[in-house]
């Protein structure tokens, strides 16, 4: 039983239900029959081939957002490229749904969404660790763990300075809407050794933010979003 399983999880772990291949009516039944188990829907990966013909403002997605609103669930999404208009439509038409967006594709327009819509949040995940002129996160653009460790350590200061230059002002202008995340996906991302490196970078980045913003970005914004959700 999912409710019993959740009780056995360590404090601080929150469950999201991935809605791929599920219709709104099915999701509604699952959430209704497992009250209090799920905190949100997602990640809804619009870049995935299974959603290649389903933009964020498609009718079937709008129906899912209504289920999220009915049960006070967060919607976590990773938009595909060139979906700014569709993302904004989804956010604008569902003002009572909290949207947690992540991924590199919305980097250029996420601040404008945050400024216009109070229901938009953004997590900075592995996208922080990016080599100049190399698309995508470093942790996904290398062949293995050893290559990542080498490039990460060799370029640590440059990676950190680039991330601070790109995000510091945005975070400090909207201190309640940005939060840190990891976005681990490959098997070696979960190694303890990798966890230490990710955390080292995150702490160095957080340390470059204004003191009054650091705790909000590090964990308080995420805690508040989950508690409200």
Q: Residue 136: its pLDDT value, please?
A: 66
Question: Is 131 or 167 the better-scoring residue by pLDDT?
Answer: 167
126 CB contacts (<8 Å, ≥6 apart)?
A: 137, 138, 139, 140, 182, 183, 184, 189, 198
Please give the structure tokens belonging to residue 201. Answer: 């970078």
For residue range 61-91, list pLDDT tens digits in order: 999 999 999 999 999 999 998 999 999 999 9
Quick one: DSSP state of residue 73?
-
Q: Residue 58: its pLDDT value, please?
A: 96
Mean pLDDT value across residues 147-151: 88
pLDDT band at 229 (very low <50, low <70, confident <90, very high): low
Q: Residue 133: its pLDDT value, please?
A: 63
132 CB contacts (<8 Å, ≥6 apart)?
A: 158, 162
112-138 per-residue burial string, b: 16 or more CB within 10 A, e: under 16: ebbeeeebbbbbbbbbbbbbeeeeebb
Average pLDDT, the chain: 90
Q: Residue 2: its pLDDT value, please?
A: 72
Q: Residue 135: its pLDDT value, please?
A: 62
Quick one: DSSP state of residue 119?
T
Q: Is the pLDDT of residue 108 over 70?
A: yes
Angle at 39 between CA 37 and CA 41, to 5 degrees: 110
pLDDT band at 20 (very low <50, low <70, confident <90, very high): confident
For residue range 132-141, list pLDDT tens digits in order: 666 667 777 7
Q: Residue 209: its pLDDT value, please?
A: 98
């Amino acid at each position: 039983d999912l409710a019993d399983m959740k009780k056995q999880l360590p404090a601080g772990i929150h469950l999201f239900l991935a809605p791929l291949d599920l219709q709104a009516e099915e999701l509604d039944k699952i959430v209704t029959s497992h009250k209090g188990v799920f905190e949100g829907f997602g990640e809804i990966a619009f870049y995935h081939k299974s959603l290649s013909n389903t933009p964020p403002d498609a009718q079937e997605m709008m129906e899912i957002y209504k289920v999220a609103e009915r049960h006070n669930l967060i919607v976590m999404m990773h938009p595909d490229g060139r979906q700014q208009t569709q993302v904004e439509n989804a956010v604008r038409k569902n003002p009572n749904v909290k949207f947690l967006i992540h991924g590199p594709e919305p980097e250029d327009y996420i601040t404008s969404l945050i400024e216009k819509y109070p229901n938009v949040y953004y997590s900075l995940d592995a996208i922080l660790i990016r080599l100049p002129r190399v698309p995508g996160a470093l942790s996904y653009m290398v062949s293995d763990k050893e290559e990542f460790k080498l490039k990460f350590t060799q370029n640590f200061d440059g990676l950190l300075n680039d991330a601070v230059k790109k995000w510091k002002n945005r975070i400090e202008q909207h201190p309640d809407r940005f939060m840190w995340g990891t976005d681990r996906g490959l098997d070696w991302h979960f190694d303890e050794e990798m966890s230490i490196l990710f955390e080292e970078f995150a702490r160095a980045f957080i340390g470059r933010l204004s003191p009054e913003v650091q705790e909000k970005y590090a964990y308080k914004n995420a805690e508040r979003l989950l508690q409200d959700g």
